[in-house]
Amino acid sequence: MSNQIVTTGISFFGAGTLKNFNEEIKNSGFQRIFIIANPEFQSALKKISSMLAKNRIVYSIFDRVSQAASLSDTRAALNAAKTLRADAVISVGSKSVSDISKAVSLLLSNPEISDPRKLEGKAKSKNKAIPLYMFFTSIGNAWDSSHVFILEDESQRKKIECADVNAIPKAVFFDTELASIADKNDFSISAASLLISSIESLICKSSWELTDFFALKAIKLISENALLASKGNSKAIENMLYAQYYTGIAFTNGGAAFATAASLSIEAALGISFSKAIVPIFKETMEFNAASTGQKYKDIAVNMGAKVSSSAYPESFRKTAITSVEKFFKELSVAKKIEEVKISKEDVSFIQENILKNKYTELNPKTVTKKKIADVLKLIS
């Protein structure tokens, strides 16, 4: 079986990437740029819009983006971009901002696809997306900088995943001068979620040598830097941005597993964010998968800084890996339980079916049953 690695067009890391962006746009011929932004990051937004103004580029800002990248938000952004007659898109932020930006840039260059709902699955487009420049101002989801984007069909209460190489961003910018921590608790939860995505990419059935390499790099960086980054350490924040990039390569070119499938389904059905849903269920899913992961829990434990004997038995190093993750969550003061969430019997049945249909459930190292899903859902209710 052949494997592939899909990455972004150009990636810029470290401080001062706005200079690189200026070089990208000053002779580009762009006349109208559509900006999709998270309103929390006004400082970054002002710097970017000021640079556009200096280059005499007309721009419009769309910041009405909800927690989930809903189809209705995507349609509203697309209509606004069409009204502007945008010839490029800029994304400022992460998570839903990134998802919607990729969908909009792709739909603008493929007008025959009339509705974002039709993007579900693989490669529905004929043309490359119009140029998309992505600025990451905080830690986001594993797939943010990739060709994958996940939208929410709110009418069906389900997620639709789109994977299209035509949606690859022209350039992504991980700039520590633009990055900030608007909410320490939110950052900690996002960091924990990113670690989980790295682990799931490592253990899933479709992982392979190169995706394992990037997943383990991410696990090590996240373990070493998340706590310092949550306290505002600039170097640690920079390392977390690198970790997000590594996780993205592992996730979108390898895959994920049960916890990801469950969290996406929970978010769509109940409105709990993916990051907040995945943390309290992960220990259970990690214990569930342990015996089906070969030596990979040993790699997890070692890259999280645990001392593991070369002669350690699987039962021992698997327990060490799970303990290391628990310790990491505790250090970040990540809540173990989502409070005030009530799941009705109808919701449980609905979520169960969506989890079973999710491709990441199929990629889980151990077969997932309805009973196991029910047991996991009890952890957040």
Q: Is the pLDDT of residue 135 over 90?
A: yes
The H-or-E segment that residue 251 falls in is: helix 234-253
Name every residue whose Cβ is closer than 8 Å to that of residue 311 and which is 6 or more positions away in sequence: none
Find the radius of gyration of the CA atoms of the chain: 20
Predicted confidence (pLDDT) per residue in 251-291, tens digit: 999 999 999 999 999 999 988 889 989 999 999 999 999 99
Complete edge-to-edge strand list for the sheet that includes strand 148-153: 121-122, 158-163, 148-153
Distance CA 199, CA 323 (A): 14
**Between 327 and 342, whose confidence is greater?**
327
Question: Helix 234-253 crosses helix 184-203 at what angle (to 10 degrees)?
Answer: 40
Pull the structure tokens for residue 206: 């479709």
275 CB neighbour count, 10 Å cutoff: 25
**Where are the extended beta strands (E) located within 114-224?**
121-122, 132-135, 148-153, 158-163, 171-174
Name every residue whose Cβ is closer than 8 Å to that of residue 164 and which is 6 or more positions away in sequence: 106, 119, 122, 123, 124, 125, 147
Predicted confidence (pLDDT) per residue in 225-256, tens digit: 999 999 888 889 889 999 999 999 999 999 99
Pull the structure tokens for residue 241: 């941005």
Per-residue confidence at 339, pLDDT binned at 50, 70, 90?
low
Q: Is the pLDDT of residue 335 over 80?
A: no
In this prediction the pTM is 0.93
Per-residue confidence at 315, pLDDT binned at 50, 70, 90?
very high
Q: Is the pLDDT of residue 337 over 60?
A: no
| φ, ψ at 88 (rounded to 5°) | -160, 160
